[in-house]
Structure formats: structure tokens, C-alpha cells
Amino acid sequence: MRRFEGKKVLVTGASRGIGRAIALAFAREGATLVLASRKKEDLDRVATEAREIGAMVHVIPTHMGRIDEVSRLAGQAWETAGRLDVLVNNAATNPVFGPLLQTTPQAWDKIMEVNLKGPFFLSQGVARRMMDSGGGSIVNLSSIAGLMSATWLGTYGISKAAIVQMTRQMAREWAAGGVRVNSIAPGVIETDFSRAILEDQSIRAEALKNVAMGRHGQPPEIASIVLFLASSEASYVTGQVLIADGGGIC
């Protein structure tokens, strides 16, 4: 399938894990890519993989916790690609692995800046341009940590719960302008980002205890959902949160 032939797609946090899988999935389906993440050398590796598939790729190193860089990304990505049909807000951070009582003001600010403030203002900047160009699709990466409590992911979960409401509010306000906004709430996906869960056997077992499928997810399993929500196949879907957790919440 080449569902995104001729489409222009911006993916944040594209240098590894779920972001890398999303970028390569769009590349296989014909999209022109704009990839953003903090480190250029990591982005370049993913860009090389996407180009080997046959995609046109632009790389824009961006720190999603710095609002000046986020504002620059919105404009530069649009100008570089000519337009944007899809924005995937995937970049996230979690410097605190523990209960809320261990969260410092500095950690709180970092989590909220990268996980919420950056995606909000990037979406705002991109959506304005999408509305002027006939519409588009935004997919936000939330988490099941934003839908249920987890002792070791409290502050991160708060930021991801905010992403859920951000998705709904954007969908409500921007539908008239032709912009659909949806979200995905993954369970534990086997990436470097989840290393603290995966490498601690007691935490890993706890995380799997209520998962009906009895395993953690893989990045391509999330990427395929992103492509569906971004595609014309989901043309009547907006404001929704799709849970992909192997049956942990069911």
C-alpha cells in the first residue's frame, strides 16, 4: 500500500523507538518525511534508513522543551516540505521513575515542557497552516499511564493525561478547519524509553500482570495505528484515544 504517496509528514522524537518505527512506516507508504529530535546524528541514521526505502527525508534537530525551537520547527518544517498533511507528536521524556513525592520542580518542568507544552504549541503552529491549506491530521502519543495510575510513572502519567484532553479540545475546535486530531495510548512498548520497566524483573512482572495478551508491545504495532489514524481510512474519526496495551484495560 502507498496510502501516503505525495503526503508530507512531520514526526517528532523520530530518532529511536516508536518514533523511528513511525517514520519508517510512513516511508514505506510513500510519504515525504520531516524528522525532528534532539540529536542530529541519531536523526541522520533514521533518515538514511528511510531514504534506502525510497523516501524523501528532511531532518530538523529540535529540542521539544524549548519553545523557541518548537516555534522554529513549525515554520521550518512547513517551508522545507512545502506543506504538512500529518503531524505526529511522539517526542516525550521521563526523568523521574518513582512516586510523586520524589518529583522535584525541575523534573516537573522538564516533563511538562517536553511532553505537553512543546506538542501543544507545535500543534497550534502547524494547525493554523493546515487550516489555510485545506486541512490535515494530527496524531498525539499519550500512554495508558495517562488513563490509570502507576506508582513509578505518576508525573509522566499526569502529562499524558493532559495530552488526552488536549487531543479532545483540539479536535473540537479544529474540525471546522478540516484538521482531525486523535491520540494513541500505548501500554509498555519494548524500547529504550521503557528500559527501567523492562530491566527490573519485579516491575516488568507487575506491568504484565493484567495484560491479557501476556506480552509487551513492539514499536511497529504502534506505528501501524498511527498510519491508520492519519490516513483517509479514518476520515470520520477525530477526538478519539485508541488504547493499544494488549488488553491491559479491558
CA gap 201, 28 in Å, rounded: 36
Three cell numbers written together for 53: 526505502
Residue 195 burial (10 A CB sphere; 0-12, 13-18, 19+): exposed
The closest alpha carbon to 238, from 163, 169, 186, 187, belongs to 169
- Is 156 one of the annotated active-site residues of the chain? yes
Out of 156, 225, 234, 238, the active site residue is 156
The closest alpha carbon to 148, from 229, 219, 213, 243, belongs to 243
CA gap 123, 71 in Å, rounded: 10
Element (H, E) at 63: none
Q: Helices 67-81 and 118-132: crossing angle, nearest 10°?
A: 30
Amino acid symbol at 183: S
Beta bridge partners of 59: 35
- What contacts 209, CB < 8 A, 6 or more positions away? none
List the catalytic residues: 156
